[in-house]
């Protein structure tokens, strides 16, 4: 079900590990830890870490919706907030119509909501505010898909996500040099951050796998 997505996640994580290996090697060769290339590589680790988080969250959500699309149900069979994604086009139709068609679109929305036909699911929907991935976006995803447990695994602090996002953006948008950011961290600290992000990525994957395997997206799954 999620095997190809899982492999892609592993590839992103492997990329970060390869970069960490280079940082470790450079650190051994440069005992003073002050070479420019070492600092640059440390800084770019935050870009790689962020890419793992963003890819994991977006690709797992897309795969989950693809699986739901293969065996669609009537709208009222799904749990409440999942309808925010499943009926996204219907919401947009109401939002984007002119004043002259507003009440017609409202009626059409409720026709869709209470329809006895299987819903048409768009797997490209990503139910967040569209801003870079941080703790807020993970909270949104957990809420809108009724996922169990917490969005962050035990031992991972939300500040870590903000730290990685902010450093990635600072480098990507040219506000700071990768070397300046990299100079603030030891290799040991970066290894700990990679371990935490790897744990988070698989936590997200397993939450969606469990939800799908146990039909937790259906109203009937609620005790």
Rounded Cα distance, 142 and 197, in Å: 17
Share of the chain above pLDDT 90, in %: 82
Give tens-digit pLDDT for 162-219: 999 999 999 999 999 999 999 999 999 999 999 999 999 999 999 999 999 999 999 9
Tokens 């990299």 -> residue: 182
Give tens-digit pLDDT for 126-165: 998 777 898 999 999 999 999 998 999 998 999 999 999 9
**What integer pLDDT is reported at residue 28 of this predicted model?**
76
Q: State mean pLDDT over 99-125.
A: 93
Q: State mean pLDDT over 113-130.
A: 90
Residues ≥6 apart with Cβ < 8 Å to 200: 53, 56, 152, 153, 156
Helices (H), ranges, 100-217: 102-113, 135-144, 158-172, 178-182, 187-213
- Where does residue 95 rank: exposed (0-12), middle (13-18), buried (19+ CB within 10 A)? exposed
**What integer pLDDT is reported at residue 30 of this predicted model?**
62
**What integer pLDDT is reported at residue 26 of this predicted model?**
81
**What integer pLDDT is reported at residue 149 of this predicted model?**
87
Closest CA to 222 of 125, 149, 138, 148: 148
Full 3-state SS string of 121-140: CCCCCCCCCCCCCCHHHHHH
**What integer pLDDT is reported at residue 132 of this predicted model?**
85
**What integer pLDDT is reported at residue 32 of this predicted model?**
57
**What integer pLDDT is reported at residue 223 of this predicted model?**
64
Residue 201 Cα to chain centre, angstroms: 8
**What integer pLDDT is reported at residue 129 of this predicted model?**
79
Q: Tell me the pTM.
A: 0.93
Give tens-digit pLDDT for 4-46: 999 999 999 999 999 999 998 887 766 655 689 999 999 999 9
Quick one: DSSP state of residue 10? H
- Where does residue 45 rank: exposed (0-12), middle (13-18), buried (19+ CB within 10 A)? buried
**What integer pLDDT is reported at residue 218 of this predicted model?**
96
């Amino acid at each position: 079900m999620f095997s190809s997505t899982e492999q892609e996640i592993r590839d992103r994580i492997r990329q970060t590990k390869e970069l960490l290996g280079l940082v470790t090697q450079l650190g051994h060769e440069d005992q003073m830890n002050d070479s420019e290339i070492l600092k640059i590589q440390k800084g770019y680790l935050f870009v790689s870490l962020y890419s793992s988080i963003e890819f994991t969250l977006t690709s797992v959500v897309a795969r989950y919706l693809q699986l739901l699309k293969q065996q669609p149900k009537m709208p009222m069979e799904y749990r409440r907030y999942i309808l925010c994604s499943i009926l996204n086009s219907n919401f947009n139709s109401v939002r984007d119509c002119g004043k002259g068609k507003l009440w017609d679109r409202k009626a059409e929305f409720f026709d869709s909501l209470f329809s006895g036909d299987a819903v048409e699911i768009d797997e490209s929907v990503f139910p967040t505010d569209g801003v870079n991935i941080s703790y807020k976006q993970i909270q949104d995803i957990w809420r809108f898909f009724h996922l169990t447990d917490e969005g962050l695994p035990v031992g991972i602090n939300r500040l870590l996500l903000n730290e990685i996002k902010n450093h990635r953006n600072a480098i990507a948008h040219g506000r700071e040099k990768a070397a300046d950011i990299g100079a603030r961290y030891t290799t040991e600290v970066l290894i700990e951050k990679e371990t935490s992000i790897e744990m988070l990525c698989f936590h997200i994957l397993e939450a969606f796998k469990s939800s799908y395997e146990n039909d937790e997206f259906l109203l009937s799954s609620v005790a």
